[in-house]
Structure 1
Amino acid sequence: MPWTLPEPMLTTPVSVPGLRPGCAAEPKWDGFRALVSVDAGRVVLRSRRGTEMAASFPEVVAGAVRLPDATALDGELVVWDSAGRLAFERLQNRLTQRGAGAARAAEEWPAHFVAFDLLRLSATDTTSWPYRRRRAALESVFAARRLIAPWTLCPSSTEADVVREWLTWASVGMEGVVFKRLDDAYKPSVRGWQKY
């Protein structure tokens, strides 16, 4: 049976930020949640709700060829403006572009795929692995494949001082911080991560 992308793991809001023991934190991006898979040269780029987005983001699809075959990632599509702020409205405009229009938009307002989780690696389903193991494998993929823009590895930290700094990033359009338990598996459709 062919492997299919799972539903994404979800977040639940919390009112008090704080890095707890046994957790890691990542910045929360203002973009579109996206899942990407590469299988025998075919790239699937799907939104959280299942919409196929590859035709709108050719630069992201072109960069996916550097991933190992039979690999899938979870992440966020983002666009930055000329001042270095996240530009969600530009990203929204990209969704309606196809063909030559999408190619022009990719030149003018390139999208980046910010990867924050690993769902499959070289045909091995990694969703049952604990977050710390998935994260280490994801970092290895970026290092070994020399993935470059428009592919970006999301920062992750267990350092409280770093997390406090991320909470100040609203000036560049960040939405907050996501907290993930180091021992948790990737649970499709489950609100297992916390978002502040």
Structure 2
Amino acid sequence: MDWPASIALAQSVPELPTGTDWSYEVKLDGHRMIMWRTDDGVRLQARSGRDVTAVWGDLAVAGHHLPAGTVLDGEAVITTEDGRIGFEAVQARAASSPARARRLASQRPAHYIAFDALQLPSGNVRPRPYSERRAALLNLLAGLPANTPIQAVSATTDRDTALTWYNTLHNKHGVEGIVAKRTTSPYRAGRTGAWLKIRHADTIEAAVVGFTGAARQPRALAIRLPDGRVALSQRLSTALATRIAPRLVPQSRRAYTQGGDAYTPVSGEVVVEVVAGTTRHAVVTVVRLR
């Protein structure tokens, strides 16, 4: 495999799919991470493709127990004193210098919750069905030391059990939602429909600063997030675009998000509600016009 690995992403859906060919995993609010066990050591890759080994040294040390040639997909998480998964602690670690990260690790060590295997010492396993990759992952992790911070994500093929997890583990443990994965699917980068997710999320108000597409039928909105970033929303439904279009007053210039996406800025004040849980990775879902 070539560095960096392209990762699979889950599509947001309003409810979990039904059927016998789905497996359901708890979705944790952590830091997406690819763990590479190379012949020379361990490298950790963020969702963006950056090398983040220096700030997750405790997980890199743990990764040395994996056999060389292993590449895993998972989530780095940190638990708080009350036993909940704390995204703020993960965010603080990810934004730290290596020296500060080591201090934070001594206070609150991280865990790596693995949910897929991309490569094993035998070779690339991404083309194999999820059910086979899951079994291989469990077999691999069973050989690690008992006190390892590398663990497999909880999963079930029973939809009712998954819904119980969704309804009961959010407040007590900070579980963010559930990801459903088609058991027959290979590991493919991007959003393919093989991974679907429902998540606990509230709506927040956000200002519209621009749009893409035509003013009379905008394709997506440029949204100013609470932390000041500007990000493009997911594609608007036809009905929502029709309601928003009359409120947009385009300016005669181009602007760009921090990620480099171009959009047409607008004048005036337009406010929409967005799903709060979709803003952390600057992938914004607009639900209504305010």
With the shorter chain as reference, the TM-score category is over 0.9
Q: Residue type matched to 2:91 in 1?
A: Q
116-125 vs 89-98, which deviates more? 89-98
Distance 1:19 1:163, change over 3 A: farther
User: How far apart in 1 are the matches of 2:7 and 2:78?
Assistant: 21
Q: Does 1:195 align with 2:197?
A: yes
52-61 vs 92-101, which deviates more? 92-101
User: How far apart in 2 are the matches of 1:37 and 1:114?
Assistant: 14
Q: Secondary structure at the match of 2:164?
A: helix
Q: Residue type matched to 1:146 in 2?
A: P
Tell me, yes or no, if the aligned pair for 2:37 and 2:43 is still in contact at 8 Å: yes
Tell me, yes or no, if the aligned pair for 1:34 and 1:46 is still in contact at 8 Å: yes
Q: Residue type matched to 1:145 in 2?
A: L
Tell me, yes or no, if the aligned pair for 1:41 and 1:65 is still in contact at 8 Å: no
Any unmatched runs of 5+ in structure 1?
none
Higher Rg: 2
User: How far apart in 2 are the matches of 1:85 and 1:137?
Assistant: 29
User: How far apart in 1 are the matches of 2:68 and 2:36?
Assistant: 9
Aligned CA RMSD, in angstroms, stands at 1.6
Distance 1:83 1:50, change over 3 A: same
User: TM-score when scaled to structure 2?
Assistant: 0.64
1:1-196 residue pairs with structure 2 within 5 A? 3-146=2-145, 148-168=147-167, 169-171=169-171, 172-191=173-192, 192-196=194-198
Indicate the percent of aligned positions where both proteins have the same amino acid. 30
Q: Residue type matched to 2:195 in 1?
A: W
Q: Secondary structure at the match of 1:63?
A: helix
83-92 vs 160-169, which deviates more? 160-169
Instruction: Give per-residue Cα distances to partners, 1:2-34, cap 9 Å, x unaligned.
Output: 643421101001102244321100001101111
Higher strand share: 2
1:123 Cα deviation (Å)?
4.9
1:148 Cα deviation (Å)?
3.6
Q: Which of 1 and 2 has higher RCO (CA within 8 Å, sep 6+)? A: 1
Q: Secondary structure at the match of 1:175?
A: strand
User: How far apart in 1 are the matches of 2:139 and 2:147?
Assistant: 14
Tell me, yes or no, if the aligned pair for 2:7 and 2:47 is still in contact at 8 Å: yes
User: How far apart in 2 are the matches of 1:71 and 1:195?
Assistant: 26
Any unmatched runs of 5+ in structure 2?
199-290
What is the number of equivalent residue pairs in this alignment?
Answer: 195
Tell me, yes or no, if the aligned pair for 1:33 and 1:47 is still in contact at 8 Å: yes
Distance 1:147 1:132, change over 3 A: farther
1:102 Cα deviation (Å)?
2.0
1:146 Cα deviation (Å)?
3.4
Q: Secondary structure at the match of 1:24?
A: strand
Q: Secondary structure at the match of 1:77?
A: strand
Higher helix share: 1
User: TM-score when scaled to structure 1?
Assistant: 0.93
